[in-house]
Amino acid sequence: MTLDTPTAPVRIVPRGASLSALPPVATPALKTLCSNCHLRDICLPCGMAHPDVARLDGLQFGRRKLKAGDELYRGGDRFQFIYAVRTGTFKSNLMLADGREQVSGFHMAGELMGLDGVANGRHASAAVALEDAEVCAIPYVHLNELTSGSADMQMVMARLMSREIVREHSLMMLLGSMNAEERVAAFLINLSQRMKARGYSPSEFHLRMSRAEIGSYLGMKLETVSRTFSAFQQQRLLEVDKRHIRIVDLEGLQRAFEPSVH
């Protein structure tokens, strides 16, 4: 007997399915070498020894450009590639049978998308560009062949998947046991850290996603997101102007999301 998804409490529905099966790599002319990439220390090759990175170059994978709103893949699409963000920002979308959607993640430069497709050979989520963007499309079977044979590379791959699990853990904690203010604070702090890690200002940045998308991600309504931003502004923790964010009091924000010593 074979179980397909042994412990999933909710069935995520392949919707839109394969009709969106675009030619997955639009610009095969642009070949990419990890070893020269300015993102190599925060992307797929992170943690690999130099000779292994050189072996990655052998994959000769292509890039793909997307415009704001374009779908990279949809839930139900055949899984062939994992994608690494080069530029731009993406959201991942889950869909329930009744059409309810939920954002399950935001992805920026160096982060991988599509690892959930390994399980069943079909993408479990959709990926949508929030602004003009470019990705590397890494053919999974080839990657798999390459990494088998090197326990080190295999470990790096396993670590990347495990990180995704850990990331979702923390989102589950957020959704399961935090109130609105804590959720928004955690979201902003996380964003701030990721901006900083990429060399941008951790205290002042531009949101690439709408209030509705933030709300969907955080399990609350867009009005509540807006109100919470306003509340933080009144508490002199933030300055908010539409999508422009300035974090005035980072420590105050951190207190806001770990409030009770309990």
Query: Across the chain, how many H-helices and E-strands are there?
Result: 7, 12
Residue 76 is a binding residue for a copy of itself (CB under 8 A): no
Residue 259 is a binding residue for a copy of itself (CB under 8 A): yes
User: In angstroms, what is the minimal distance from the CB of 86 to a copy of itself?
Assistant: 15
Contact partner at residue 147 from a copy of itself, DNA, none, CB < 5 to 8 Å by partner kind: a copy of itself
How many residues sit in the footprint of a copy of itself (CB under 8 A)? 82
Helices (H), the chain: 50-57, 140-147, 151-177, 180-197, 211-218, 222-234, 250-257
CA 122 to chain centre: 18
By CB under 8 A, name the one of 49, 155, 230, 236 that touches a copy of itself: 155
Query: How far, in Å, CA of 70 to CA of 214, rounded?
Result: 19
User: In angstroms, what is the minimal distance from the CB of 27 to a copy of itself?
Assistant: 26
Residue 170 is a binding residue for a copy of itself (CB under 8 A): yes
Specify the stretch interacting with a copy of itself by CB under 8 A; choose among 5-13, 205-213, 222-230, 242-250: 5-13
Nearer to DNA, 154 or 210 (CB): 210
| Pair 85, 107: CB distance under 8 Å | yes
Residue 211 is a binding residue for DNA (CB under 7 A): yes
| Pair 106, 89: CB distance under 8 Å | yes
Tokens of 167: 């990331």
Distances (CA, A) of 182 to 59, 149, 168, 179: 43, 45, 17, 5
Nearer to a copy of itself, 66 or 103 (CB): 103
CA 9 to chain centre: 22
- If you search the block for the tokens 């002199």, which residue do you land on? 236
Residue 58 is a binding residue for a copy of itself (CB under 8 A): no
User: In angstroms, what is the minimal distance from the CB of 231 to DNA?
Assistant: 8
Tokens of 180: 């609105």
By CB under 8 A, name the one of 25, 59, 94, 237 that touches a copy of itself: 94
Which residue ranges make up the site for DNA (CB under 7 A)? Answer: 179-181, 207, 210-212, 215, 219-227, 229-230, 240, 242-243
